[in-house]
Structure 1
């Protein structure tokens, strides 16, 4: 896709957040590739499926619509929360609390969710592409 001139690739399906990177064709064309943004909302029973992402891509175009440059690219990490009786809510990771993590319904199916787990996973998968909701306001 990059070799064909695509500027952006967003992969889907694995239900987990995967890396984002710039890939470059032999001709020097750069493409932003988000292999998977995970689930925006999830009722699944595994901890990794609770972490998703919202792609924030800022582009600059000339008046005829030609892409001039990518101003910025990042991913806002999100967490799907559900309690023992449901009640699904999506939070930016930065606003998710340790209390919510401890009460998360996923603990019925596997180890409890913790902020350390979520932040470690975010750092491992997104690295420098992780941005906060607050930083974009």
Structure 2
């Protein structure tokens, strides 16, 4: 049924809870997984003054390292469970990047904090944004 599973991660405890569920499912189904960390360039999200460009580049590199660490941890989790996995850090805007990547997979597994009210308004929800735009089945894991 599901032979290929995309599992986006942001490196948060919530996303790793979702990965645990997804890896258990992948193991049971004999599916391959791919981990995706979307690196959003902060210079595109906020205005950066010319004098702060060096700090912006340093921030981007720190975010890239965090992404690489999150993917490495996810790959280690997959190896520990005996699940075939690949992973990547990809620069882009999270929702459209995940939606586009999902086109090549049978299932998408993501975590959600289940925020409501002002938190949801201010912080948004990548999972909800993806859920409303993707054409493949999605397993949403609500975090504890």
- TM over 0.5, yes or no? no
More helix by share: 2
More strand by share: 1
TM superposition score normalised by structure 2: 0.26
Q: Which has the higher contact order (CA 8 A, sep 6+)?
A: 2
